[in-house]
Amino acid sequence: EVQLVDSGGGLIQPGGSLRLSCAASGFSVSTTYMNWVRQAPGKGLEWVSVIYLGGTTYYADSVKGRFTISRDNSQNTVDLQMNSLTAEDTAVYYCARGGGFGKYYFDYWGQGTLVTVSS
Amino acid sequence: EIVLTQSPGTLSLSPGERATLSCRASQSVSSNYLVWYQQKPGQAPRLLIYGASSRATGIPDRFSGSGSGTDFTLTISRLEPEDSAVYYCQQYGSSRFTFGPGTKVDIK
């Protein structure tokens, strides 16, 4: 059974850093692309970042230069390192599995982890 | 960057009625790249429709997707109480993904 478990959220001061982790089971993160998607309180979904099979990464303009996505095939995890956090980064962060090569959708999602940026 | 617009913002209908949700793109989108998700309060989104018209595994056949180019539609043929949720469209382009703002469906 495919499962994604998101962790690492919490309360952090503006300007601080946080590292989120997504633990996958039931499949290998090295076999498909993986994403982070966030949702600010009461707002819609915002795609944040993707890491493709070959390791290529892309980011939303709102996080480019501050966030870094990475993958650990041996641990079967995908992480999101978040630096220089601001109140606008407050959101539930979801890890989402890409459907596979040539399949441009997210078929499994983690339960989300809440990041609150506040002094 | 392609921007997705969804309408209406909120739809309030009774059980058994038909719901028609619109997703409009600022530029043409390949049908292969247009996706619909359902999100209920406190839950992660769930994949409903991919490739504009293909139902994901386990999705009831009352959900259907259609459209091409810049105009796409999600139809729920006979609303059930459990269909109360926010529905998002998503597109893929230039190695990135974008979501529409969502349509909230309320069941009276």
Cα of A22 to nearest chain B Cα, Å: 14
Q: What is the pLDDT of residue A52?
A: 94
The answer to whether A4 and A29 have CB atoms below 8 angstroms apart is no
CA distance B21 to chain A (A): 16
Q: Which residues of chain A have pLDDT under 50?
A: none
Among A45, A52, A111, beta carbon nearest to B99:
A45
Chain A environment of B39 (Cβ under 8 Å): 45
pLDDT > 70 in chain B, percent: 100
Over 90: is that where the pLDDT of B56 sits?
yes
B44/A47 CB distance under 8 A = no
Question: What does the pLDDT look like over A15-39, one tens digit per residue?
Answer: 999 999 999 999 999 999 999 999 9
Q: Does the structure show a pLDDT above 90 at B57?
A: yes
Chain-chain contact of A56 with B95 (C-beta, under 8 angstroms): yes
Give the chain A residue whose CA is nearest to the CA of B90: A105
Is B54 at the interface with chain A, CB within 8 A? Answer: no
Whether the predicted pLDDT of B1 surpasses 90: no
Q: Is the pLDDT of residue B31 over 90?
A: no
pLDDT at A22: 98
* A58/B96 touch (CB, cutoff 8 Å), yes or no: yes
* pLDDT given at position B82: 97
Please give the sequence-ordered ranges of beta strands (E in DSSP) within chain A, or none if there are none: 3-7, 10-12, 18-25, 34-39, 45-51, 57-59, 67-72, 77-82, 91-100, 103-109, 113-117
> Which member of A47, A103, A110 has the closest CB to residue B98?
A47
CA nearest A82: which of A61, A96, A95, A65? Answer: A65
d(CA A116, CA B89): 26
With left for phi above 0 and alpha for psi between -120 and 50, is residue A61 left, alpha or beta? alpha
Q: Which residue has the tokens 């009625």?
A: B17
- The chain-wide mean pLDDT, for chain B, equals 96
User: Is B33 within 8 Å of A104 when comparing Cβ atoms?
Assistant: yes
pLDDT at A48: 98
Cα(A5)–Cα(B42) distance, integer angstroms: 15
Quick check: helix, strand or coil at residue B68? strand
Contact call for B96 and A44, based on CB within 8 A: no
List chain B residues with CB under 8 Å of A46.
Answer: 99
- Which residues are paired to A96 by β-bridges? A35, A109
Q: Which residues 14-53 in chain B show a CB within 8 A of chain A?
A: 32-33, 35, 37, 39, 44-47, 50
Tens-digit pLDDT profile for residues B64-82: 999 999 999 999 999 999 9
